[in-house]
Chain A
Amino acid sequence: MRTFLILTVDGVTSGFIYAMVALALVMIWRATRVINYAQGAMAMFTTYVALFAIQHRVTYWLAFVIALGAGFVFGAGVERLLVRPIEGRAPLNMVILTLGLLILLEAVAPMLFGGDVKSFPAPFSRIDITAGATQLYVSPFDIFVIAAALLVMLLLLVFFQRTTIGLRMRAAAFRPEIARLLGIRVGRMLTLGWGLAAVLGALAGVLIAPGIFLYPNNMDEALVFGFTGAILGGLDSPVGAVTGAIVVGLVLSYVGGYLGSDLETVGGLVMLIAVLMVRPQGLFAFHRQRQA
């Protein structure tokens, strides 16, 4: 029972981090129909930016905000400068672009920040809370991770469902040509979408780093597991992506805890293949079949 509880809390916490990566992937998929393979590497970069700030006597919270801000600028910049010029060409071009960006970022990071493994601070204790004599298997930092993720998801939901600019972004993503006929600057909406997605990624990067440390390819696994979660839920469904990613977090945690940590990554792969074989459109996808 004790092991089960520990594994469950662990699974949910990392599931929420994967969920933010998954949401970022889904946002970009819905707007641009491309999987941003560089999503994790971009988050690694912004986490280094935060660490750089902290090392220069900036407080954790300011560095946290700097990371998210850097994420926005980074994401918007990638859309504007790299994605825009090849838009409307063969889908493979876009895949090669984001894969190329991933490789580039992971090659440049060690030159700029050093290739060694660095520790990254957590704003709250990572030691489990005890209430009297009973241990609760959850640390203040775990609570912070889950709360931050939930808050960001809530903000995104309100943004997309309740604001005019959110409505414009959805219109631009669903039917770009119709959106233009309604006077919406679709290009600007795409830039904003990439920026927001990268903010989510940056948040995931800062939240995951205290647990897995910071090094140039530290986000590779989070990207794969976030991707698995997004596929599990259906790439077109934000709710599905979050649910899928939490399921992935839990399954991986159980596999790692009960079967051995070597099998964790294999577990993720098995899930991905199983879903693609049984229900390729994802568990939450409605009507449409996926195109790519």
Chain B
Amino acid sequence: MLEVDDLTVAYGGVVALNGVSLQVPEASITTVLGANGAGKTTLVRAISGLVAARGGSVRVDGTALTGMAPERIARLGVAHVPEGHGVISELSTEENLRLGCLWLGGANDRRAATEEAYELFPPLAARRRLPAANLSGGERQMLSIARALAARPRVLLLDEPSLGLAAVILAQIMQRLRELARSRNLAVLLIEQNARSALSVADEAVVLSLGSVVARDRAERLARDESLRHAYLGF
């Protein structure tokens, strides 16, 4: 369970996130929607410790993360797939995956985690030894999500996974994500600009505008709210 309470972040004098609160229960997906500049990326970066919060708190299964360095937060089971996928293109597919499961107990666990990743995303298995730079956009996004999952996280933060992906591949990845959230008891926070696809997989949805939460509801209900869709989601 991920709990964000009254989180406030400011860059210099500019408030990017203004008292945002949300909960993501286990085995569920919450999507955060909003236009460019609404504070979506700031929210995930604050959760994973890349930007410091000015106020409020973030908890994972009751443990407060506020003020911790990102590398510690990562080891506590928060996996963050950053915007633009964040695979390390100079390293091979396999090496990227190995970086995902650095903190698993033994060598056997780590091997199992990489093999699982290939089962989850079969296209990657044929690319093991290739530098990630040679992968297609879809494969890179798969690799990035697979690497995050290889850490066996409790919380998965996804920042704009739809960016630059073909609709078919996006639908596949989203479907996978839904199954995984259930089967692995994952709390998934899905940041999206592509509201339509995000609402189709999410359980809950939160709409951010200028750093504040302006709407929150069950995803399917929010998708039906026409005035909200027009005002904030653009479809």
Contact = CB atoms under 8 A, between A and B. Distances in A.
Contact of B103 (A167, A179, A183): A183
Interface in A168-207: 168, 170-171, 174-175, 177-186
Contacts of B88: 171, 174-175, 178
Given A167-B98, A167-B99, A168-B99, A181 B90 contact: no
A182 B98 CA distance: 10
A164 interface: yes
- Majority secondary structure of chain A interface residues (helix, strand, loop or mixed): helix
Contacts of B100: 182
A132 to B, nearest CB: 50
Nearest to B147: A182
Contacts of A179: 99
A184 B73 CA distance: 11
A170 B103 CA distance: 17
B50 interface: yes
User: A interface, how many residues as a size bin?
Assistant: 10 to 19
B91 interface: yes
Contacts of A171: 88, 91, 99
Interface residues of B, number: 23
A116 B195 CA distance: 74
Contacts of A168: 99, 102
Nearest to B78: A181
Contacts of B6: none
A174 B91 contact: yes
Contact of B50 (A164, A170, A177): A177
Interface in A235-252: none
Interface in B75-102: 75, 79-80, 82, 86, 88, 90-91, 95, 98-100, 102
Given A184-B71, A186-B71, A167 B82 contact: no
Contacts of A164: 98, 102
B48 interface: yes
B211 to A, nearest CB: 22
Contact of A178 (B72, B82, B95): B82
Nearest to A287: B133
Given A167-B91, A180-B50, 9 more contacts: A164-B98, A171-B99, A174-B90, A177-B50, A177-B82, A180-B74, A181-B82, A182-B99, A184-B99
User: 9 tightest CB-CB pairs across the interface, nearest first?
Assistant: A183-B74, A180-B70, A183-B75, A178-B86, A181-B80, A174-B90, A180-B71, A175-B88, A183-B71
15 contacts: A167-B98, A167-B99, A170-B91, A174-B91, A177-B50, A178-B86, A180-B50, A180-B69, A181-B70, A181-B79, A181-B82, A182-B99, A182-B151, A183-B151, A184-B99
Interface of A: 164, 167-168, 170-171, 174-175, 177-186
